[in-house]
Amino acid sequence: MVRNAKSKKSTNQLLIEQMMTKVATISQDIEKRGQSIFGQGNLLTLDEINDYSLEFLELFVLLLQAGEKVDRRSSEHKALRQFFSNFSQQIQIRGGNLEEFVRFIHFMQDVFLNNLETDSTLDFQQTREILLLLASVFNDIILDVFHVYLAEKERTIQAQQEELKHTSTPITEIWDGVLTLPIIGTLDSSRTMSVMENMLARIEKDRAKVVVIDVTGVQAIDSQVSHHLIQMIRAVGLMGAKAILTGIRPEIARAITSLNIDLSMVSTRATLSEGLKEAFALLSITVLAADVQHH
Amino acid sequence: MTMLQGMHLTPIGDGIILLEPTDGLDPGEPDAYLVPLAGTLQQMRARRLIYDLKNVPVIDTLYYAWLTNLASICRISGIDMVLVNMRPATAYALALTMEDNPPFACALDVNRARNLP
């Protein structure tokens, strides 16, 4: 009789019944595991772990109660996924490990699977359907957690790239009216834009007369890079300052001549120090050693 | 100060004339301004024309063509032309569209333009 009654119930109802009879054990197991994972690293307090465990069980029951079958588009399903997204975000912000978090989700799934094993009233078909249901729900959750993790990583990488962009082209006022701009790495369109914006603003702010652009750290030059350099030099000129290009290594010089790039209108010097001497000469500044000054 | 259509001209000493364009200047009609301006500059015995861009936020192709025309007239008349007070954003946008070096000099401000060699 019991078997017949159970066979008429939907998979969702069967799972709810199972959970209800052993809710205390399930909740206790999840909390215990949560404490061993998140409590040791001080990622979550005991209260937070308990709250998260209870909230998860509540949302899961709500999802199962929403219909005979789990609907991925239902608000209950979205709420459960949102819960895990927020949970994983919090763990990440506090320096937690994604792998451990995924293991925790697997453990939650295992708790339900263990319950199935102990329930002898379920037939093969019912057990199979519950297994499929659990796999589907928990796979979605794990995928969401991965999406959140990747999005967070992406944001971090972008922030680091922005920071690198600023620190890799430090504009320094090396003398009154003389700015130096060492360029390291490659000069693509987006970097050129950012460097040009910063440089032109500095020319105006520092009332610079000369800008020494040093390309010693530029590994390779192609027509696009040289085009960007020429644009930068023209922009400096439009602001009323003089640009000096320094640090053109032999390979770069060879590449420039092979590409038929005309740099005749650009003042070039072999090294940064030569460029600085040229800048001082333009400003009629003479730098003498201290002993020469005494004589 | 001398007023011409679309601009103010102010002699600031040593044959240097400061040109401040007004809102009435239409860069699409260079012929309306170039001849009277060249005549006035000759009367003023100008040797350098300082064009103040303080109130010019954008230099598009039309405005750039006007500046190029003006620079040509100045060159023929033996006058140096210097642009001053270009905003960083304007310089940035202009540098991206320019294909050749400009036919005029540039300086950060009027004082620097006066002291150019």
Distance separating alpha carbons of residues A234 and B92, to the nearest angstrom: 9
Identify which has the larger pLDDT, A123 or A280. A280
Beta-carbon contacts of residue A175 (< 8 Å; ≥ 6 apart):
A276, A279, A280, A283, A285
Q: Quote the CA–CA distance of A126 and A141 in Å, as a whole number.
A: 23
Q: Which of residues 159-188 of A touch B (CB under 8 A)?
A: none
What residue type is A265 in one-letter code?
M
What pLDDT score does A8 carry? 64
Least confident of A98-102, A113-117, A199-203, A204-208: A113-117
The pLDDT assigned to A29 comes to: 85
Per residue in A205-223, pLDDT (tens digit) is 999 999 999 988 887 777 7
Check residue A31 and give its pLDDT: 84
Residue A87 has pLDDT above 90, yes or no: no
Instruction: For residues A129 and A134, give the distance between their C-alpha atoms in angstroms, rounded to a whole number.
Output: 9
- ipTM of the complex, rounded to two decimals: 0.88
Give the pTM: 0.62
pLDDT confidence band for A292 (50 / 70 / 90): low
Q: Name residues whose C-beta falls within 8 Å of residue A180's C-beta, 6 or more positions apart in sequence.
A: A171, A172, A174, A211, A212, A214, A272, A276
Residue to mutate among A238, A263, A267, A283, with most B CBs inside 10 A, is A238
- Residue in chain A closest to B107 (alpha carbons) equals A240
Task: Say if residues B54 and B19 touch (Cβ distance below 8 Å).
Answer: no
A120 φ, ψ to 5°?
-85, -5
CB contact under 8 A, A204 and B83: no
Give the residue ranges of chain B where pLDDT is below 50.
none
